[in-house]
Amino acid sequence: MDLSTAIADVRFSSCLMNASGALCVTREELEALGECRSGAIVTKSMTPAFRQGNPEPRYYSFPAGSINSMGLPNLGYPAYARIIPELRRFEKPIIASIAGLSPPDFLEAARAITAVSPDLIEVNLSCPNIHGRPQIGYDVEASRALLLELKDIVTVPMGVKLPPYFDPVHHEAAARMLQDVGVDFLSVINSVGNGLVVDPDEERVVIRPKGGFGGLGGTMIKPVALANVRAFWKLFDGRMPIIGTGGIVSGTDVFEHVLCGASAVQIGTALVDEGVGVFQRLEQELSELLQRKGYASLSDCRGTLREL
């Protein structure tokens, strides 16, 4: 089955890849993503300097999904600028995720990483876990100002990783801004920020940072992710490449993202739970599903979700 796709004219042999943050911080993790069956290597969001991240425990997985407050642990962009050229030997697209605690951080990372030419740059506007730093993606004008500055620096296709929006007014405002800026793709959604998971036996929270508040991922967020993929697919009339992320644990989940309009998908919680073998399993499940339904490729069903 042909599971290949393209985002902003970059070809991917498979539409499945890791979500930024999931098993992609260290050189070893990035190489493992190179060796496995994923269609791309996506880096952890990088900041100017190495960050240890938040105190542990900071990740908790349970049947409905996961909660995390990692706090942007990463090697710092100088390390990724050295590693990215070495990852080219895996002959799959490399997506560099950039972040920062302030706009100048993003610009600095963008300058250094553009110089090593990843295939795409994903600007993370939606980390929910840094105390005192709101998610930029919830401030349309701050996002516009940052993205316009980044557009002057970045010379490879540039997309944004968005937080989930919960009201059509917010989808519309974000879409107008992204259209004005001229971003090349969307990655939706980041974790659902500032959820709280309670352990009733212990009568306490399950992760340490921020009093237990953290970003939700996995099965429980799939409907929110699908709604965001669909909303942006419609607002851009199917002309903006969308990478769908959120709640994918089976080939059927991938198919649902594609029906809503996703050109590719990213796997977070299921990758952390299962390891890089998840890509082969999802590939097989998706291929069997498409075959059973008589589709020859992803483009045959992208965005074709029927309404009543």
**Under rule CB under 6 A, which residues in 84-113 are in contact with ligand RRO?**
99
Nearer to ligand RRO, 71 or 251 (CB): 71
Contact 100, 47 (CB under 8 A): yes
Chain length of the chain: 308
**Rounded-to-integer distance, Cα 79 and Cα 75, Å:** 6
Of 7-15, 63-71, 142-150, 257-265, the segment contacting ligand RRO by CB under 6 A is 63-71
Q: Is 260 one of the annotated active-site residues of the chain? A: no
Nearer to ligand RRO, 42 or 183 (CB): 42
CB of 160 to ligand RRO, least distance (A): 12
Nearer to ligand RRO, 15 or 125 (CB): 125
**Under rule CB under 6 A, which residues in 201-240 are in contact with ligand RRO?**
215
Of 106-114, 126-134, 242-250, 281-289, the segment contacting ligand RRO by CB under 6 A is 126-134
Nearer to ligand RRO, 214 or 303 (CB): 214
Compute CA distances 221 → 80, 107, 166, 217, whole Å. Answer: 30, 31, 12, 6
Count the site residues for ligand RRO by CB under 6 A.
16
Please give the full DSSP string across 216-267, using - where no structure is assigned: EESGGGHHHHHHHHHHHHHHTTT-S-EEEESS--SHHHHHHHHHHT-SEEEE
When binding is defined by CB under 6 A, the residue of 47, 69, 219, 228 that contacts ligand RRO is 69
DSSP-H helix ranges across 6-154? 27-35, 77-87, 103-114, 140-151
**Under rule CB under 6 A, which residues in 277-296 are in contact with ligand RRO?**
none
Nearer to ligand RRO, 114 or 266 (CB): 266
The separation between the first and the last C-alpha atoms of the chain, rounded to the nearest angstrom, is 30
The single-letter code of the amino acid at 125 is L
Of 28-36, 120-128, 219-227, 280-288, the segment contacting ligand RRO by CB under 6 A is 120-128
Phi, psi of 260 (to 5 degrees): -75, -20
When binding is defined by CB under 6 A, the residue of 41, 127, 153, 156 that contacts ligand RRO is 127
Residues that are catalytic: 127
Provide the binding-site residues for ligand RRO, judged by CB under 6 A. Answer: 21, 45, 68-72, 99, 124, 126-129, 190-191, 215
